[in-house]
Structures are given as C-alpha cells and as structure tokens.
Amino acid sequence: MADEQSERKLGEGEFLTKQINCPHCGHLLDACTDLMSNRRPEKGDASVCIYCAELCIYNDDQTLRQAEFDDCMQLQSDPKLWALINKTQETAARRLFDENKEALASWGITKP
Ligand SMILES: [Zn+2]
C-alpha cells in the first residue's frame, strides 16, 4: 500500500525530503523545490519555508536549522542567489498575507 507521500505528484524541480519541522514555525515539511540546479538539497543549501517565509539552511542529515548572520553574509556574496532568496521570501510572505487577510485586517494590517 502506497503511503500518502509516495502518491503525491511532484512538480518540476520538486523533491520529497525527509519529514522535518521548520526550525522557525514548526510546520511539517516533506518536500522542496530547487529553483537553481534541479537537484536534491545538500548541506549548506538555503531554503525558504513556504509556511513562514523564514530562511533555513540544510544540515548534513537533511534537517533544517535557522539561518544565522554568517549564513546570510555568505549567501549575499552571490547577488543572483540572494535576489532569488528575497523573491522567494516575498512570494511566501504574500501567500501568508493572502491566507490570513481577514485576521490581519482586524488588527489594522492591510498591506503585506
Ligand atoms: Zn516555517
């Protein structure tokens, strides 16, 4: 019997990963999309959580840790990569905003 994960259709550049929790928001993550090289994530690769838009870094064992200042400095040394990370965070943040528009409006927040 196939489990739910193996029955999922994956998009181009999307890979199933070990089931892990985002180190920022705790949401369960089980897939990633490689936007640059179409390969599985490796140690030191950056990842943006689609649920909270925070920046994470892959560990050796395919778990994630929160990105630290030094990680950001290193990622910024590649302007193309840093721009892609920022764009991805913006997209994830906009999705979050759209999904929570009513609650945010009740707090007076009307723009992403
Ligand atoms: Zn998250």
| Per-residue model confidence as pLDDT tens digits over 88-97 | 999 999 998 9
Q: Within a domain: residue 63?
A: yes
Q: Within a domain: residue 111?
A: no
Distance 29 CA to ligand 1 centre (A): 9
Distance 24 CA to ligand 1 centre (A): 5
Confidence bin at 2 (pLDDT 50/70/90): very low
Is the confidence at residue 5, as pLDDT, over 60?
no
Distance 47 CA to ligand 1 centre (A): 10
Domain count, the chain: 1
Distance 110 CA to ligand 1 centre (A): 22
Do 56 and 47 contact (CB within 8 A), yes or no?
yes
At 74, the amino acid letter reads Q
Q: Within a domain: residue 112?
A: no
pTM above 0.85, yes or no: no
pLDDT digits (tens, 9 = 90+) for 52-108: 999 999 999 999 999 999 999 999 999 999 999 999 999 999 998 999 888 888 989
User: What confidence score (pLDDT) does residue 4 get?
Assistant: 53
Q: Within a domain: residue 80?
A: yes
Q: Within a domain: residue 18?
A: yes
**Could you tell me the residue range of the domain that residue 69 belongs to?**
4-106
Distance 25 CA to ligand 1 centre (A): 4
